[in-house]
Amino acid sequence: MTNKPAPTEVAIHELIAGRWSPRAYSSEPVSREHLRTVLEAARWAPSSYNAQPWRFLVFDRSVDEVSFKQAFATLVPFNQGWNSRAPVLIAVTAHTLTSKGEVNRCAQYDAGAAAMALVLQAHALGLAAHQMSGFDPNAFRTAFALPNDVDAIAIISLGHYGEIDKLDPVLREREKSVRQRAPLADIVYGGGWKKAF
């Protein structure tokens, strides 16, 4: 399944409505051209004071299986299960200090914007991308010698869509289920906290 548009309350751009987080991957490698394209999209994300605090660590199974396995090992067991065929993992990290050595309170927000640009570009290329918080950041930090001022925020699995029938039954049902979000009235306020928009 490659198409699972969001049932939106109002029409939004198809690139945003069509982006979702699949779990069924094929083991087909992702081309270097496509990898460079999704990373270029991330590079052009906005950031506070144009600090660009994000750093991406790319683990391509077809290029360096050893480092891929090290990154894969930091995923929680549940995520390891459905990522067993994913060809690429991309760690999203952020420098937590500004160039002046002060805390950058926008670092994770900015890195999230860059990650969203990456996954939207992946979707535009017909690739599957799934962002995950389910990994051990301390194990990742140790395995890849992250500096003290860099936080590991998320890992994105990236690849070509695979066959849903190869997932276990519970995940198969999740893959086929209708996408859901809280209604706008629950998340948008007008002029003050909890005031109707």
Tell me if 101 is assigned to some domain: yes
Q: Which residue pairs, CB below 8 angstroms and at least 24 apart, start in 112-116?
A: 112/153, 113/45, 113/46, 113/47, 114/42, 114/43, 114/45, 114/47, 114/52, 114/54, 114/56, 115/42, 115/54, 115/153, 115/154, 115/156, 116/45
Residue 123 near residue 15, CB atoms below 8 Å: yes
Name the strand (E) or helix (H) holding 68. Answer: helix 65-73
187 in any annotated domain: no
User: What domain count does the chain have?
Assistant: 1
From 20, 142, 23, 156, select the one nearest 92 (Cα to Cα).
156
User: pLDDT per residue over 159-195, tens digit each?
Assistant: 999 999 999 999 999 999 999 999 999 999 999 999 9
pLDDT of residue 1: 67
- Whether residue 172 lies inside any domain: the answer is no
**Residue 58 domain flag:** yes
Q: What is the pLDDT of residue 3?
A: 87
- Rounded to the nearest 10 degrees, how much is the dihedral formed by the CA atoms of 73, 78, 79, 85? 90
In a domain, 188, yes or no: no
Assess if residue 125 is contained within a domain.
yes
Whole-model pTM: value is 0.96
| Residue % of the chain over a pLDDT of 70 | 99
Residue 122 within a domain:
yes
Rounded mean pLDDT for each run of 10 residues along the chain, 197 residues in total: 89 96 97 98 98 98 98 98 97 96 97 98 98 98 98 98 93 92 96 96
* Residue-range definition of the domain harbouring residue 134: 14-167
State the alpha helices, DSSP H only, in 144-196. 169-176, 184-187
- Per-residue model confidence (pLDDT) at position 2: 81
180 falls within a domain: no
Q: What is the CATH number of the domain that holds 148?
A: 3.40.109.10
Would you call 78 exposed, middle or buried from its count of C-beta atoms within 10 A (0-12, 13-18, 19+)?
A: exposed
pLDDT at 145 (0 to 100): 98
